[in-house]
Structures are given as structure tokens and as C-alpha cells.
């Protein structure tokens, strides 16, 4: 015993305390086990007492936040008490509400022009990039905004001058250029009397000639209150011109086709009525029928040819060709008619010109058309000359004659479809073509990258056209 006590006294102090704690816990363990449920229940009550008030406070904040957001959606100021309860978040919501009221919701009592101006800066970046013209008016039809595209349409020569529309709204530029003044007045009257009614109109302008498609609609703010008018202008001048050309083409083609068909019909009726029994009359009628049939055939071919050229279905067969051979063959085609009329045809080609790049068939077609016209309108004893020379990057052709010439007032229209110069009696007697030869020639020359012009002084005519030689690179690459 004494030895054991002696040995225990030699143990470390920490170990002695641990042994003592175990002995004490062993004595109290039954007592702690008896009161364990009470300890657990007390802990749960303490946790609930701490978290329930915090949960209720969060619920109130969420409700106040929802009420504040609802007020902002309805364009109202949030309740001050709700914002105060939200502490720092409330201050941020109040700042956001003021921003929305200033930037998005217009002032009901302010001038409607201010409502349009609120988002002007944001709209300009989009409006100024539009290709169509746009103008915004207030309810009194004063100009609020006008984009550069409309300025180009109104004053093509000086778009910056349209700034006076904004500086002086009383200056109505549309009224200065409109062809139908009553139509423009009716449009403005409708905008005043029926401001909410969208409209679509076509306006014809002069100096220069233009056609604008006008789309008008009321301009509303976010509260669906009308604050002005927005009008978009689309330039349809090319479409109108194309439609006009198409209509004229159909009318002229029908007229040109009807003439030989009518002649053929009358000749056949005359033959059937008894002219066939007279050999001399029969032969004359047959010759006339053949002439009208040839005329009809040429007209149909020209119509088909022009259609292919203008619809881009026809592609040029670029190649290196013998220039002198092309010119000589073209002259030989017209030579019989020239010899019959007593008209001399000469060619003058620069010595060093031998080969050029072009579509041989189409180039011959142009030369035959021009030389044929020159011979047709040159009196007996006259002369037609074909001159060819090299320019910097093209070949220039001239077909000049000593004929009856073309009046100055007709020169701008000689390349139009079916156009004929008939002021001169001699020209009327020599007419009989389809009226499409010069139109086709112009198309072919432009397809070659060149241009064709005409000049006349009343005693002769000169047609000049060029064939670009820049195509050499494209042919080489192909």
C-alpha cells in the first residue's frame, strides 16, 4: 500500500487531474442523464427566441421592398417609411426611382416638345445611320429632329442647308419643291385633323425630279400619350422611272409590232381579193410581204437582244481579236446599200493598231448599227468614215458622216428605246428600223467598260465610242 501511494505521488500533475475528473464524472453521470431532456428543450427555446424576431424583420423588409418596386413600376415615388426601414438599400432604391422618373417617365405638365427631346441623344446614334429620311414633328408640326438622309433627299446639292428647317420651322422646304401643292396641303391638314391616323403617300418633287414614299405615324411616349409625329421618307425615284420605262417600252413595242403585222394582213387580204390573179401585182405584193416580214423579224430579234443585254443574262466573250478584220467585215455588211445610194465608206485606222481585247460579235454589231445609220441618212455623193485610234487605256472609234444631221433638241434622246428623229422629211422617208439599234449599241459599249456619245452640227453626225482595254488583266487571270 505504501508502495502504491509512493508510486502515485510520482505521477505528473496533469494526469492526476484527469484521473480526478473521471472519478467525479462517474459519480455525477447518473444525475446528468436524468436531466438531459430538460437541457435539450431549453436549448431549442433559446434558439427560437433568437431567430423568430430576425425572421419577422426580414419578412417586413421583403414586403417593404416589394411595395417600393411596385410603386416604381406604377411610376410613383416609393413610400418614405418603407424606404427608411430598408436602411442603406432604401437610399439606393430612392436614387434609382428618381433616375427612372427623370429619364423614362415624361413630365405630364411639361411641353410635349420636351418629351420628345428626353431621348433625343439616345435616338440620334440610330437615326443618323438610317438610309431612309426621317423627320419628327411636335403636335404643332414644328420640326424637332431631321436626319442627314432626309437632308440629302431635300437638297442633294447642299444637304447642310436643311438646317434652316430646324432653325426656322416656318420655312417648309417640301412646299417649295412639291409638284402637287394641294396634295401636300391635304397631308398637313390630315395630320392636324386626324393626328392619330397613320398615312402612306407618294410625293413628287421638282428641281431635281424626285419621288418620295412618305410613311407617317403618331409618336407616343411610354404612357401612350401622343407627343408628335414621325415621318419616314423612302426615295422611290428609280422604281418610278423603271416602271415608266417599262410601260413606255411595252407601249412602243406593241406599236412597232403592230405596224408590220397590219401591213402583212392588208397585203394578204389584197391578194385574196383578186390581186393574186394579176402577175405583176402579185409579185409586187410578195416583195412587200417579204420586206415587212424582214422588218418584223429584225424587230423581234432586237427586242430579244435588248432583253438579254438589260437583264444581265448576256456575258461578253472577251478575246484578243484582229481589229482591222472586224472593221473591214462590218463595212462589207453595209457596203451593198452604200453602193446603191452612191455613198462612199472609208476607214482610217492607226498603223500600229492590230489586236485589241473585246467581244468580236458584239463589237461588230455596234459598228454595223452605226455605219448602217450613217449610210441611211447620208445623201448620194456623201461620205461615211470609220476612224479608230488608241487612247491611254482604251480604243476610240468614230463613225462620222456628211448626212442630214440630227437637231440639237433630239441629241439627248437618240439612245432611248424606239426614239426616232422625225422632224426632217428626209429622215422620215429613210426611217424604217426598229428604233432599238442605238439603244443596243449603248448597252454593248457600256458592257465593254466604255461610253458612247453623239455630236451633230446639222450637216453631219459623229458617233464616238470607246472600248476599255483594262479587261486585258481580267482575261489573263481567267
Which residues of the chain have a pLDDT value below 50? 1-11, 105-110, 112, 114, 118, 165-171, 423-430, 473-478
Tell me the pLDDT of the chain averaged across its residues: 75
* CA 124/CA 139 separation, integer angstroms: 20
Q: How many CB atoms are located within 10 Å of the residue 263 CB?
A: 17
Given CATH 3.50.50.60, say whether it is the number of domain 112-235.
no
Q: What pLDDT does 186 receive?
A: 87
Q: What pLDDT does 386 receive?
A: 94
Contact 422, 432 (CB under 8 A): no
Note the pLDDT tens digit of each residue in 388-428: 999 888 999 999 999 988 888 888 888 887 776 654 434 44
* CA 388/CA 395 separation, integer angstroms: 7
Given CATH 3.30.565.10, say whether it is the number of domain 319-477.
yes
Q: Is the peptide bond before 208 cis (omega within 30 degrees of 0)?
A: yes
Note the pLDDT tens digit of each residue in 368-388: 999 999 999 999 999 999 999
Q: How far is CA 458 from CA 319, 378, 413, 450, in A?
A: 38, 12, 16, 26
Domain boundaries, the chain: 2-103, 112-235, 240-310, 319-477
For 354, how many CA atoms within 13 A lie in the half-sphere containing its CB? 1
Q: How many CB atoms are located within 10 Å of the residue 135 CB?
A: 24
What is the sign, positive or negative, of the torsion defined by CA atoms of 96, 98, 103, 108? positive
Q: What pLDDT does 463 receive?
A: 95
Sheet holding 210-220, edge to edge: 143-146, 133-137, 226-235, 210-220, 199-205
- Report strand pairing: 355-358 vs 199-205: unpaired
3-state DSSP: the chain helix, strand, coil percent, rounded to 5?
60, 15, 25
Contact 105, 73 (CB under 8 A): no
Same fold, 112-235 and 240-310: no
Note the pLDDT tens digit of each residue in 90-121: 566 666 666 656 555 444 444 545 455 545 56
Q: How many CB atoms are located within 10 Å of the residue 97 CB?
A: 19
**pTM of the predicted model, to two decimals?**
0.50
Torsion-angle region of residue 5: left (phi > 0), alpha (psi -120 to 50) or beta?
alpha
240-310: CATH, from 3.40.50.12780, 1.10.10.10, 1.10.287.130, 3.90.1300.10 = 1.10.287.130
Q: What pLDDT does 158 receive?
A: 61
Beta strands in 255-343 (DSSP E): 319-322
Query: Residue 468's beta-bridge partner residues?
Result: 394
Amino acid at each position: 500500500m505504501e508502495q502504491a501511494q509512493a508510486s502515485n505521488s510520482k505521477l505528473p500533475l496533469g494526469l492526476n487531474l484527469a484521473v480526478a475528473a473521471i472519478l467525479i464524472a462517474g459519480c455525477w453521470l447518473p444525475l446528468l442523464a436524468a436531466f438531459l431532456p430538460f437541457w435539450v428543450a431549453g436549448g431549442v427555446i433559446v434558439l427560437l427566441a433568437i431567430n423568430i424576431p430576425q425572421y419577422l424583420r426580414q419578412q417586413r423588409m421583403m414586403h417593404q421592398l416589394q411595395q417600393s418596386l411596385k410603386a416604381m413600376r406604377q411610376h410613383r415615388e416609393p413610400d418614405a417609411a418603407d424606404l427608411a426601414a430598408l436602411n442603406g438599400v432604401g437610399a439606393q432604391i430612392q436614387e434609382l426611382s428618381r433616375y427612372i422618373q427623370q429619364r423614362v417617365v415624361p413630365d405630364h405638365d411639361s411641353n410635349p416638345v420636351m418629351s420628345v427631346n428626353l431621348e433625343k441623344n439616345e435616338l440620334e446614334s440610330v437615326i443618323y445611320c438610317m438610309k431612309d429620311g426621317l423627320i419628327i414633328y411636335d403636335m404643332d408640326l414644328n420640326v424637332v429632329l431631321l436626319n442627314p438622309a432626309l437632308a440629302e433627299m431635300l437638297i442633294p446639292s447642299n444637304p447642310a442647308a436643311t438646317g434652316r428647317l430646324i432653325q426656322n420651322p416656318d420655312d417648309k422646304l417640301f412646299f417649295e419643291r412639291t409638284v402637287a401643292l394641294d396634295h401636300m396641303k391635304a397631308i398637313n391638314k390630315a395630320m392636324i385633323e386626324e393626328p392619330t391616323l397613320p398615312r402612306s403617300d407618294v410625293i413628287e418633287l421638282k428641281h431635281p425630279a424626285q419621288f418620295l414614299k412618305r410613311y407617317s405615324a403618331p409618336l407616343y411616349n411610354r404612357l401612350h400619350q401622343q407627343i408628335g409625329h414621325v415621318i419616314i421618307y423612302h426615295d422611290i425615284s428609280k422604281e418610278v422611272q423603271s416602271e415608266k420605262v417599262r410601260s413606255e417600252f411595252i407601249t412602243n413595242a406593241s406599236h412597232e409590232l403592230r405596224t408590220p403585222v397590219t401591213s402583212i394582213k392588208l397585203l394578204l387580204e389584197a391578194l385574196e381579193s383578186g390581186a393574186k390573179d394579176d402577175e405583176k401585182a402579185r409579185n409586187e405584193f410578195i416583195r412587200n410581204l417579204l420586206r415587212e416580214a424582214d422588218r418584223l423579224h429584225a424587230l423581234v430579234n432586237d427586242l430579244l437582244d435588248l432583253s438579254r443585254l438589260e437583264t444581265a443574262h448576256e456575258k461578253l466573250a472577251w478575246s484578243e481579236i484582229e481589229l482591222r478584220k472586224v472593221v473591214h467585215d462590218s463595212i462589207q455588211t453595209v457596203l451593198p446599200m452604200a453602193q446603191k445610194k452612191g455613198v462612199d465608206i472609208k476607214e482610217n485606222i492607226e498603223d500600229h493598231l492590230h489586236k485589241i481585247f473585246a467581244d468580236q460579235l458584239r463589237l461588230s454589231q455596234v459598228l454595223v448599227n452605226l455605219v448602217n445609220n450613217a449610210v441611211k441618212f447620208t445623201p448620194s455623193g456623201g461620205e461615211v468614215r470609220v476612224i479608230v485610234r488608241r487612247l491611254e487605256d482604251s480604243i476610240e472609234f468614230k463613225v462620222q458622216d456628211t448626212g442630214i444631221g440630227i437637231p440639237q433638241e433630239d441629241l439627248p434622246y437618240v439612245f432611248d428605246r424606239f426614239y426616232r428623229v422625225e422632224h426632217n422629211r428626209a429622215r422620215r422617208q429613210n426611217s424604217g428600223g426598229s428604233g432599238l439599234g442605238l439603244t443596243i449599241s449603248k448597252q454593248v459599249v457600256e458592257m465593254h467598260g466604255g461610253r458612247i456619245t453623239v455630236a451633230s452640227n446639222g450637216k453631219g453626225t459623229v458617233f464616238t465610242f470607246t472600248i476599255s482595254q483594262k479587261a486585258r488583266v481580267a482575261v489573263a487571270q481567267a
